[in-house]
Amino acid sequence: MSQPTPETGEPTCYRHPDRESHIRCQRCDRPICPDCMRDAAVGFHCVECVKAGAKETRSGRTAYGGLRSTDNTATTIGLIAVNVGVWIATFASGGFSSRIFAFLALQPKGLCERSGGYYEPDGLSCTFGGVLLPGVSDGAYWQLVTSMFTHVEIWHIAFNVMALWVFGPQVESLVGRARFLALYFLSGLAASATVLWLGPEFGGTHGASGAVFGLLAARLVVALKARGDVTGIAAWLGFSFVGTWLLIDNVSWQGHLGGTLGGAAAAAVIAYAPVGPKRTSYQVVGLLAVAVLVLLAIVTGTLRLAD
Q: Show the domain range for 275.
A: 74-97+139-306
Q: Among candidates 219, 175, 225, 204, which has minimal Cα distance to 28?
A: 225
Rounded to 5°, angle at Cα 151 from 171 and 211: 25
Q: What is the pLDDT of residues 272-285, one digit of tens each?
A: 999 888 999 999 99
Same domain membership, residue 84 and residue 1? no
Same domain membership, residue 204 and residue 90? yes
Distances (CA, A) of 275 to 6, 224, 249, 272, 280: 32, 17, 45, 8, 9
Same domain membership, residue 145 and residue 48? no
Whether residue 32 is predicted with pLDDT greater than 80 in this model: the reply is yes
Q: CB 128: neighbour CB atoms within 10 A? A: 10
Same domain membership, residue 45 and residue 167? no
Same domain membership, residue 91 and residue 20? no
Same domain membership, residue 265 and residue 184? yes
Whether residue 86 is predicted with pLDDT greater than 90 in this model: the reply is yes
Buried b (16+ CB within 10 A) or exposed e, 265-279: bbbbbbbebebeeee
Alpha-carbon distance of 105 to 207, in angstroms, equals 8
Same domain membership, residue 260 and residue 215? yes
Same domain membership, residue 164 and residue 31? no
Q: What is the pLDDT of residues 225-239, one digit of tens each?
A: 888 778 888 887 887
Whether residue 1 is predicted with pLDDT greater than 50 in this model: the reply is no
Has residue 54 been placed in a domain?
yes
CATH of the domain at 207: 1.20.1540.10
Has residue 106 been placed in a domain?
no
Q: What is the pLDDT of residues 110-135, one digit of tens each?
A: 888 777 666 677 666 777 777 888 88
Q: Domain count for the chain, please give it.
A: 2
Mean pLDDT value across the chain? 86
